[in-house]
């Protein structure tokens, strides 16, 4: 089991914005997510999330983005046009009994003498914050708040979360600020912005410390600083907050980051298992390809009831007839087993057989065509069982 997560049916959730407008429902049910229900990518636009609901979302590996909440265990980096797939690991810091380290106390003492610190007021994106954000954007264009309207607006003119703010003033001038979402037992750190003129004071990290201190004063158990990406160091600064835990996709629980091995990173394990199956197919003389899938997160922007593939990596085996059965294998992290499907590829100006042939024969390890699944050929399979289930459909 992966633990509790908000019911994906939306029938007993909050209000969610869809193309036709806001759909309101009452109450929130949490269902025990079975191994069949694991999803890698979803986004929701709630009208309101109360404190306990936010705690449940965060504990299940979800993250806040503006006034939306999403889950995404994999991403391509760099963010714009990146062609390499990575695992994004949700992280948290346990605050019970947590004291600042010696270096953190030193930074606090230095900055406390320089800045006036304000923390915990309801978040407002006013003119002074917009000015600091524009200065930050000039130096870090991909990290600033943009668009501003989405940070503190749920699409219905209000806030979905209890979003609070931290502000640092220097001689009456705003030098840095951050926004965080406040739950009953958790805090999610949304974003920190600062005037680059004060970069020497580590204002971005310091606002994180102020958020942590605020959480400790209010009995918060967990501080969530967002995700870390093994193998992509841009987000490693979050480890400075303290000994982080990460959400383990295979067990559905939280584990110490200090114990994470390279083989534990989900994308690595999934690839390794699919390459194991590929080796078995090669030994039988069956051609196959292990491919990263560009559109595994298609549910972020397409809610139509089509049977899209939503796995980040898959194995395509050379079919006897692509028009009949085109076998595709995925590795299910929660089950630690394979599932097999009959797939179809779609693309402008291209046919399914042509795309299938191109993926099997071409040098690229990235599939940039939409994949739909038409029937399951097997599930919960061992490598040996997966091999036997695939063979009858291959040349």
For 122, 145, 161, 309, the CA distances from 194, given in Å and listed in that order, are 19, 11, 23, 40
pLDDT exceeds cutoff 70 at 101? yes
Q: Same domain for 200 and 271?
A: no
pLDDT at 195: 98
Q: Same domain for 136 and 281?
A: no
Q: Same domain for 282 and 250?
A: no
pLDDT in tens, 301-325: 998 899 999 999 999 999 998 788 9
Please give the average per-residue pLDDT across 101-119, as a whole number: 98
Instruction: Name which residue leads in pLDDT, 173 or 303.
Output: 173
Asked if 79 and 45 touch (Cβ cutoff 8 Å), the reply is: no
CA dist 136 and 130 (Å) reads: 10
Q: Of 235, 260, 285, at which residue does a domain stop?
A: 260
Q: Same domain for 198 and 280?
A: no
pLDDT in tens, 287-306: 999 999 999 999 999 988 99
Q: Same domain for 166 and 76?
A: yes
Q: Of 219, 234, 260, at which residue does a domain stop?
A: 260
Structure tokens belonging to residue 311: 């796995």
pLDDT exceeds cutoff 60 at 9? no
Q: What percent of the chain has pLDDT over 70?
A: 90
Q: What is the overall mean pLDDT for the chain? A: 89
pLDDT at 155: 82
Distance of CA 187 to the CA centre of its chain: 17
pLDDT at 83: 80
pLDDT at 18: 31
pLDDT at 222: 98
Q: Same domain for 125 and 72?
A: yes
Distance of CA 317 to the CA centre of its chain: 29
DSSP calls for 62-131: -EEETTEEEEESEEEESTTT--EEEE-EEEEEE-TT----HHHHHHHHHHHTT-EEEEEEEP---HHHHH
Within the chain, what is the greatest distance between any pair of CA atoms? Answer: 75
Q: Same domain for 152 and 76?
A: yes
Q: Among the listed ranges 4-13, 79-88, 172-181, which one has the minimum average pLDDT value?
A: 4-13
Task: Point out which residues pair with 21 in neighbouring strands.
Answer: 18
CA-wise closest residue to 73 among 315, 297, 367? 297
pLDDT at 136: 97
Please give the average per-residue pLDDT across 65-91, as a whole number: 91
Q: Same domain for 204 and 230?
A: yes
Q: Same domain for 243 and 353?
A: no
Q: Of 233, 260, 287, at which residue does a domain stop?
A: 260
Q: Same domain for 84 and 231?
A: yes
End-to-end CA distance of the chain: 37
Q: What percent of the chain has pLDDT over 90?
A: 80
pLDDT at 2: 28
pLDDT at 10: 31
Asked if 90 and 244 touch (Cβ cutoff 8 Å), the reply is: no
pLDDT in tens, 208-241: 999 999 999 999 999 999 999 999 999 999 999 9
Question: What DSSP character marks residue 2?
Answer: -
For 64, 67, 118, 268, the CA distances from 190, given in Å and listed in that order, are 7, 10, 17, 28
CA dist 362 and 369 (Å) reads: 14
pLDDT at 6: 38
Give ∠ CA 378-380-384 in degrees, rounded to 5. Answer: 80
pLDDT at 1: 25
Q: Same domain for 134 and 256?
A: yes
pLDDT at 384: 97
pLDDT at 38: 62
pLDDT in tens, 330-357: 999 988 999 999 999 998 888 999 999 9
Please give the average per-residue pLDDT across 192-198, as a whole number: 97
pLDDT at 373: 96
Q: Among the listed ranges 69-83, 105-119, 130-144, which one has the minimum average pLDDT value?
A: 69-83
pLDDT exceeds cutoff 60 at 62? yes
Main-chain dihedrals φ then ψ at residue 235, nearest 5 degrees: -105, 10
Asked if 189 and 180 touch (Cβ cutoff 8 Å), the reply is: yes
Q: Among the listed ranges 15-19, 87-91, 283-287, 337-341, which one has the minimum average pLDDT value?
A: 15-19
Q: Domain holding 21: CATH number?
A: 3.40.630.30
Task: Tell me how many domains the chain contains.
Answer: 2
By CB atoms closer than 10 A (0-12, 13-18, 19+), residue 128 is: middle
- How many distinct helices (H) and strands (E) make up the chain? 8, 23
Q: Same domain for 270 and 256?
A: no
pLDDT at 348: 83
List all residues 6 or more positions away from 18 whose beta carbon is below 8 Å from its beta carbon.
303
pLDDT exceeds cutoff 70 at 257? yes
Q: Which residue range(s) make up the domain with 129?
A: 1-260
CA dist 153 and 194 (Å) reads: 22
Q: Among the listed ranges 20-34, 52-66, 286-300, 363-377, which one has the minimum average pLDDT value?
A: 20-34
List all residues 6 or more positions away from 248 whose beta carbon is below 8 Å from its beta carbon.
254, 255, 264
């Amino acid at each position: 089991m992966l633990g509790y997560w908000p019911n994906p049916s939306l029938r007993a959730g909050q209000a969610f914005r869809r193309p036709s407008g806001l759909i309101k429902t009452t109450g929130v049910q949490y269902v025990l997510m079975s191994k069949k229900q694991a999803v890698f990518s979803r986004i929701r636009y709630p009208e309101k999330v109360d404190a306990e609901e936010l705690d449940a979302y965060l504990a299940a590996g979800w993250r806040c983005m503006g006034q939306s909440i999403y889950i995404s265990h994999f991403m391509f980096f760099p963010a714009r046009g990146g062609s390499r797939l990575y695992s994004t690991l949700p992280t948290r810091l346990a605050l019970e009994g947590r004291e600042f380290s010696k270096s953190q106390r030193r930074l606090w003492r230095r900055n406390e003498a320089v800045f006036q610190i304000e923390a915990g007021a309801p978040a407002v994106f006013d003119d002074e914050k917009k000015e600091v954000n524009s200065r930050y954007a000039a130096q870090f264009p991909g990290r600033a708040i943009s668009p501003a309207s989405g940070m503190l607006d749920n699409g219905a003119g209000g806030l979905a979360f209890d979003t609070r703010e931290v502000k640092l003033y220097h001689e009456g001038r705003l030098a840095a600020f951050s926004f965080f979402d406040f739950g009953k037992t958790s805090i999610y750190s949304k974003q920190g912005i600062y005037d680059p003129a004060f970069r020497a004071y580590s204002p971005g990290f310091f606002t994180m410390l102020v958020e942590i201190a605020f959480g400790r004063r209010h009995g918060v158990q967990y501080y969530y600083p967002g995700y870390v990406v093994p193998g992509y160091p841009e987000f490693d600064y979050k480890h400075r907050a303290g000994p982080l835990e990460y959400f383990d996709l295979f067990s559905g629980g939280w584990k110490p980051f200090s114990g994470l091995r390279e083989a534990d990173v989900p994308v690595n394990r999934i690839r390794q298992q699919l390459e194991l199956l590929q080796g078995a197919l090669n030994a039988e003389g069956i051609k196959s390809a292990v491919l990263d899938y560009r559109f595994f997160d298609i549910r972020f922007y397409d809610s139509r009831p089509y049977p899209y593939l939503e796995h980040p990596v898959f194995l395509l085996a050379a079919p006897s007839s692509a028009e009949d059965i085109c076998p595709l294998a995925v590795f299910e992290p929660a089950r630690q087993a394979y599932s097999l499907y009959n797939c179809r590829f779609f693309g402008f100006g291209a046919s399914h057989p042509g795309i299938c042939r191109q993926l099997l024969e071409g040098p690229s390890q990235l599939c940039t065509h939409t994949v739909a699944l038409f029937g399951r050929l097997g599930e919960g399979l061992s490598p040996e069982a997966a091999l036997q289930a695939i063979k009858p459909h291959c040349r």
